[in-house]
Amino acid sequence: MTLSLVAHRDKIGLTDGLLLIDGKWRPAGDGAIWTHHHPATGEAIATVPVAGESDVDEAVKAARRAFDEGSWPTARAQTRIQVLLKYASLLREHAEELRNLQALDNGVPIMFSTNIYAGSVEVAADIFTHHAGWVDKLGGQTLPPYQGGDHLAMTYREPIGVVAAILPWNAPFMLFAQKLGPALAAGCTVVLKPSEFASFAVLRMVELLSEAGLPDGVVNVVTGPGNPTGEALITHPLVDKISFTGSRTVGKRIVEASAGTLKRVSLELGGKSPTLVFPDAPDIGMAAMTTVGTVTMGLSGQACVAHTRALVHRDVYDQFLGAAQMMAGAVNYGDPFELSTTASALINGRQLDRVLGFIERGRESGARLVCGGERADGDLAAGNFVQPTIFADVDNSMEIAREEVFGPVLTVIPFTDEDEAVRIANDTDYGLGAGLYTTDARRAFRLARRLRAGTVGINGFQVEPHLPFGGFKQSGLGREGGQSSFEAYTELKTVLMPLGDELM
């Protein structure tokens, strides 16, 4: 039977989305809408407004007023802490509802959003809880006078101002929290733009903010695609900071657009992360399953930090490939609300064509196709499903080893010794994550230092709310998570005062 999600939508009671500007929910000024088509079925699910230039202008001005004249940036620490903690509890209470909405958005299976921490509502709640803890720790330094004399010099941190927070579609729970948690804890105000491909869960998360007691105007939401909505936001002169997670192409456009008023910019972009597997790995089968898991489970490889290049020592190469193929065979596509479904469809037709194009050119370039390589058919034919695909004997110069495919495609590259492995691993424009499997502790730490990536996992990989996460090279600018991301929503101010009658 052909898959359909309309009954789920009707049971959940999803209605069309609205913009939130200064505490009021409303459609776009010109009535423009975006219709969301579900990636697993192609069905029209619901609409969101397409915020135009004047809607975005109103949203930014509302955030500006809330920052310049409102209570949030200067609120008592306890007020901000209580709002953030209450919000974290509300997220936990509404976890099931949010998971269902996300399944209607980007099609991430309930099995994944329930059981995998990085994809859960729990991680979002934990991130807000973590940042609530920073509210009363916005510290600076008191410094002795450099040139002697009697005066005081100190630094302190202030909220950075109005933040444009732009989300991708693939991990809205965690990324919403990674931006709004530190921004709100620091006392900033926000204009949020969810992805046009995953707006519904985010809109509900925003509704819960006012239930937690956040004043009107502190968080405003504009929905719609990159053009016109995103462009109007990133070029708006009253935005102080852009915090963006998404593709490298749009990241570069944001750097360009921010130059006009020298906005502060944080970028979390893509990756082509390597996993290095040595013969003394604790368990070769487990290393293969985890690596394939990152490019198939849940998001079907549409994850920034998926370990899409497996660099495998020649001594364990065949063993790794056998286990990897077995894991790829365990992927189960289907209705995201069924607990047996393990992975999602690709987000849209454009991405489907892109991934199939990479696979085709991978074949032509001489890489050995071990499994997959085709679009799924039968009951799944109307969805954007691509079979889990493994290419072996890949050369790192091939396109499938260099470009972020953002689909269920693993490239496996053999190596002979440690130096060769490091050279191949670092031979990429990206630098988001890296993994390595070995029981030799000295090698593990030696390589952790040599690998040019923002996060290196030794015999495992996870995302944690209190750890910085971000990329070297073209994987981004800055870090999200923990103290470093909180500080990225502040400006550092130096204050000087002579204590005697002399001038400084």
414 or 476: CB nearest ligand NAD: 476
Minimum distance of ligand NAD from residue 39's CB (angstroms): 12
How many residues are present in the chain?
504
Q: Which residues pair with 392 in a beta bridge?
A: 368
193 binds ligand NAD (CB under 6 A): yes
Count residues binding ligand NAD (CB under 6 A).
29
Question: Residue 282's CB: how many other CB atoms inside 10 A?
Answer: 11
Q: Indicate the SS3 state at residue 432.
A: coil
Interaction with ligand NAD in 323-352: which residues (CB under 6 A)?
A: none
468 binds ligand NAD (CB under 6 A): no
DSSP per-residue codes, 109-178 = -HHHHHH-GGGSHHHHHHHHHHHHTTGGG----EE--TT-SSEEEEEEEEE--EEEEE--SS-HHHHHHH
Q: Which residues pair with 28 in a beta bridge?
A: none
Contact 112, 297 (CB under 8 A): yes
Nearest to 300 by CA among 358, 342, 252: 342
307 binds ligand NAD (CB under 6 A): no
185 or 250: CB nearest ligand NAD: 250
Question: What angle (nearest 5°) sits at the alpha carbon of residue 187, between those of residues 184 and 193?
Answer: 45
Minimum distance of ligand NAD from residue 497's CB (angstroms): 41
304 binds ligand NAD (CB under 6 A): yes
**CA–CA separation, 239 vs 22, rounded Å?**
16
234 binds ligand NAD (CB under 6 A): yes
166 or 288: CB nearest ligand NAD: 166
186 or 477: CB nearest ligand NAD: 477
CA distances (Å), origin 486, targets 86, 417, 458, 479: 19, 40, 26, 9
Q: Which residues pair with 157 in a beta bridge?
A: 492
Show the tokens assigned to 47.
Answer: 């609409």
384 binds ligand NAD (CB under 6 A): no
Q: From 38-46, 227-235, 332-340, 379-387, give the range in contact with ligand NAD by CB under 6 A.
A: 227-235
β-strands 33-37, 162-166 pairing: unpaired
- Quick one: angle between helices 77-93 and 200-211, nearest 10? 130
Minimum distance of ligand NAD from residue 80's CB (angstroms): 25
Q: Which listed residue (70, 270, 301, 336) binds ligand NAD by CB under 6 A?
A: 270
**CA–CA separation, 471 vs 490, rounded Å?**
20
433 binds ligand NAD (CB under 6 A): no
Minimum distance of ligand NAD from residue 114's CB (angstroms): 20
188 or 257: CB nearest ligand NAD: 257
Q: Which listed residue (41, 102, 170, 438) binds ligand NAD by CB under 6 A?
A: 170
126 or 404: CB nearest ligand NAD: 404
Show the tokens assigned to 185.
Answer: 């804890």
196, 268, 418, 487: which one is catalytic? 268
Nearest to 180 by CA among 105, 87, 265: 87
Show the tokens assigned to 158.
Answer: 């202030």
Minimum distance of ligand NAD from residue 469's CB (angstroms): 6
476 binds ligand NAD (CB under 6 A): yes
250 binds ligand NAD (CB under 6 A): yes
R_g (Cα) of the chain, nearest Å: 24
304 is catalytic: yes
Minimum distance of ligand NAD from residue 227's CB (angstroms): 6
Minimum distance of ligand NAD from residue 164's CB (angstroms): 8
Q: Which listed residue (406, 415, 461, 489) binds ligand NAD by CB under 6 A?
A: 406
Q: Which listed residue (58, 105, 196, 240) binds ligand NAD by CB under 6 A?
A: 196
Q: Which listed residue (172, 187, 217, 226) binds ligand NAD by CB under 6 A?
A: 226
222 binds ligand NAD (CB under 6 A): no
CA distances (Å), origin 109, targets 67, 336, 341, 371: 38, 4, 6, 23
432 binds ligand NAD (CB under 6 A): yes
404 binds ligand NAD (CB under 6 A): yes
58, 188, 196, 304: which one is catalytic? 304
Strands laid side by side in the 264-268 sheet: 24-26, 19-21, 219-221, 189-193, 162-166, 241-245, 264-268, 476-477
Q: From 24-32, 42-50, 266-274, 334-342, give the range in contact with ligand NAD by CB under 6 A.
A: 266-274
127 binds ligand NAD (CB under 6 A): no
169 binds ligand NAD (CB under 6 A): yes
Enzyme catalytic residues: 268, 304
Chain contacts with ligand NAD (rule: CB under 6 A): 166-171, 193, 195-196, 225-227, 230-231, 234, 245-247, 250, 253, 268-271, 304, 404, 406, 432, 476
